[in-house]
Amino acid sequence: MSNRHTIILMQTSQYRATRTFMDFDSISQAMDGICGLYERKLKEINPAIRNLSYDISDLYNFIDGLADLSALVYDHSIQAYLPYDRQWIKHKTLHHLKKLAH
């Protein structure tokens, strides 16, 4: 489970030119990547604030604000990528952040 290659597909606005992807060696790294995207956006919006903080609802609002977001996760048993939607990503980011908190 931990070393399942994950591709995050996203589109930040309605413009097709904003389509992009990120790939990671694991689901956990992919969730870190999504959190990192949000944290960079926060720093961009608030350049004077040194210590930024946010809660899960802020992260969810960011995720919901993207025009499109999905994940492809490699499943070794069928040797193919399985698609997952925005809700799955939100669930996984919450689980990931809870794990990091402990």
pTM here is 0.88
The 10s digit of each residue's pLDDT in 56-79 is: 999 999 999 999 999 999 999 999
Q: Tokens standing for 26?
A: 């694991």
pLDDT computed for residue 81 by the predictor: 97
Q: Which CATH number fits domain 6-101: 3.40.50.1820, 3.40.980.10, 3.40.50.300, 3.30.2260.10?
A: 3.30.2260.10
pLDDT computed for residue 53 by the predictor: 84
pLDDT above 60 (res 1) = no
Answer yes or no: are the C-beta atoms of 67 and 12 closer than 8 Å. yes
Distance CA 13, CA 29 (A): 24
pLDDT computed for residue 17 by the predictor: 96
* More confident call, 52 vs 94: 94
Provide the pairing of β-strand 19-24 with 80-84.
unpaired
What average pLDDT score do residues 31-59 get? 91
CB atoms within 10 A of CB 31: 23
Burial of 91 (0-12, 13-18, 19+ CB in 10 A): exposed
Domain limits of the chain?
Answer: 6-101
